[in-house]
């Protein structure tokens, strides 16, 4: 009889973190929004990984649409272990690095390579 008294308390303790995790997931999905710009990576509790965009968000679940195939999948907030914004393509940081490299290449070309090519009387050719 003591086991039946303790069992419901244990269930409530285990349910509280699950409720909190579900609420965090729901808040994250709402923060990311809905539409093609709401691209996400979802990791489920069974270690399955999904990618796509959030096409609908309900009280207990959200709909994930695969960008490539267009297929949809209804995902319960309770099934989700992690949801994060998908960082596809180049980020702002990547573009800044590419711009810095391109600028450095232009400066090196103008200060080092051009004088070597345009030496002496060769100033009437191409770059000079």
Q: For 92-118, how does the pLDDT look when each residue is reduced to its tens digit (9 = 90+)?
A: 787 888 999 999 988 887 787 777 777
Are both 114 and 66 inside the same structural domain? no
Query: Can you give the residue range of the structural domain that contains 66?
Result: 2-85
Residue 119 CA to residue 98 CA, distance in Å, equals: 31
Geometric angle at alpha carbon 120, from 117 and 122, rounded to 5°: 55
- Dihedral class, residue 9 (left if φ above 0, else alpha if ψ from -120 to 50, else beta): alpha
Residue 92 CA to residue 121 CA, distance in Å, equals: 45
Are both 77 and 20 inside the same structural domain? yes
Are both 30 and 79 inside the same structural domain? yes
Instruction: Please report, rounded to a whole number, the percentage of residues in the chain having pLDDT higher than 90.
Output: 10
Geometric angle at alpha carbon 77, from 85 and 74, rounded to 5°: 85
Strand order of the β-sheet with 80-85 is 72-76, 61-65, 49-57, 39-44, 80-85
Are both 57 and 111 inside the same structural domain? no
**Residue 90 — pLDDT band, cuts 50, 70, 90?**
low
Domain count within the chain:
2
pLDDT number for residue 125: 57
Top mean pLDDT of 50-54, 93-97, 113-117, 119-123 is at 50-54
Which helix H or strand E contains 59, and what residues bound it?
none
Are both 27 and 53 inside the same structural domain? yes
Cβ distance 44 to 80 under 8 Å? yes
**Residue 11 — pLDDT band, cuts 50, 70, 90?**
very low
Are both 115 and 63 inside the same structural domain? no
Residue 31 CA to residue 29 CA, distance in Å, equals: 5
Q: Is the pLDDT of residue 3 over 60?
A: no
Top mean pLDDT of 46-55, 83-92, 108-117 is at 46-55
Are both 58 and 104 inside the same structural domain? no
Tell me the CATH number at 37. Answer: 2.30.30.100
Q: Is the pLDDT of residue 88 over 80?
A: no
Are both 45 and 62 inside the same structural domain? yes
Are both 51 and 106 inside the same structural domain? no
Average of per-residue pLDDT across 55-83: 89
Are both 51 and 98 inside the same structural domain? no
Are both 62 and 108 inside the same structural domain? no
Are both 80 and 117 inside the same structural domain? no
> Helix/strand/coil (H, E, C) string of 61-77?
EEEEECCCCCCEEEEEH
**Would you state the structure tokens that stand for residue 48, as one six-digit string?**
């399955």
**Would you state the structure tokens that stand for residue 102, as one six-digit string?**
């391109």
């Amino acid at each position: 009889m003591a086991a039946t008294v303790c069992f419901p308390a244990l269930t409530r303790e285990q349910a509280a973190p699950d409720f909190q995790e579900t609420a965090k997931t729901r808040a994250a999905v709402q923060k990311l929004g809905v539409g093609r710009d709401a691209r996400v990576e979802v990791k489920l509790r069974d270690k399955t990984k999904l990618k796509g965009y959030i096409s609908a968000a309900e009280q207990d679940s959200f709909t994930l649409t695969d960008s490539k195939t267009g297929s949809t999948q209804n995902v319960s907030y309770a099934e989700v272990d992690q949801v994060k914004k998908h960082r596809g393509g180049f980020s702002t940081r990547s573009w800044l690095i590419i711009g810095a490299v391109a600028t450095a290449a232009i400066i090196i070309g103008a200060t080092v390579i051009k004088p070597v090519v345009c030496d002496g009387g060769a100033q009437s050719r191409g770059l000079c």
